[in-house]
Amino acid sequence: MSVLQARKAGFPLMNLVRFKGVPILKLLQLEEQLLRTSSDNWCIINDGTNAPNIVMGLSGKASELLELGPVLQDRVPVIRRFTGGGTVVVDPGTIFVTLICNKDAVPGVQPYPHSIMYWTSLLYNKVFEGINDFQLRENDYVFGNCKFGGNAQSITRKRWIHHTSFLWDFEGKNMGYLKLPQKAPEYRLARCHTEFVCRMRDYMSRSVFIDKTVKALGNYFAVKPVGLDIDTAIHDPKIVHSTRLLIRQELEELHLKTLSH
């Protein structure tokens, strides 16, 4: 269905932006900006990021979530994003899919976490059709009982964002930067990270996943590919981003405190 046909069918317009290897800090700043300042619906797909980074949720505490010794030793950047949710290590093997929508964009979807989460599971059911093990468990996308997609959300008065880090591939050693969180999904059963997560590459190629995601969105939106200069877009003096890179000094101070206890 063309964009014009979809619009005639009553579907709302969604701008589609596709990136490859954009740094995760820039991507998060762009998402925060579009959520706050745009009135359009957006899907942003970033195929990989440029280097390993650790991304924590808005209320995440590094001392409780990270093995700070190895993180500092290996100089892994740590970012606190503007949305809730858990902590993830992202790298060139991660595929990022972000949905930013007006609250009335999808019929039946209410601006509440569970409603949005349920709708996204229907969306990705189309993407993973034929893969019997796919399901939404608690707030994660899983194959069987292994997680491959971690989600986070933010909801404003008129809009919401739902973004996902899909582990198409990952370096097992990078999981060693993460502690077992105090709050974890019940289905995790205290498994270590390497036993808890799986690789999406064992089920689907990167390009097929991205193409199927765009196609699935066409069931709800008139999807319009657009170009966007991310460097220009995120440098708006009117916006103070809450997404930020934690400086090395604050990580070192947290590490010293944990060692002294």
What confidence category does residue 258 fall into, taking pLDDT thresholds of 50, 70 and 90? confident
* pTM for the predicted model, two decimal places: 0.94
Is the pLDDT at 1 greater than 80? The verdict is no
Segment 176-186 shows an average pLDDT of 89
* pLDDT one-digit tens code per residue, 90-132: 999 999 999 999 999 999 999 999 999 999 999 999 999 999 8
CB contact set of 251 (below 8 Å; sequence gap of 6+): 62, 68, 71, 72, 78
Q: What is the pLDDT of residue 98?
A: 98
* pLDDT one-digit tens code per residue, 43-80: 999 999 999 999 999 999 999 999 999 999 999 999 99
Is the pLDDT at 4 greater than 70? The verdict is no
- Classified as helix, coil or strand, 104 is coil
Segment 251-256 shows an average pLDDT of 94
The mean pLDDT of the chain is: 94
Report CA torsion sign: 203, 144, 62, 155.
Answer: positive
Is the pLDDT at 184 greater than 90? The verdict is no
CB contact set of 196 (below 8 Å; sequence gap of 6+): 146, 147, 188
Packed helices 206-217 and 113-127: angle between N→C axes, nearest 10 degrees: 120
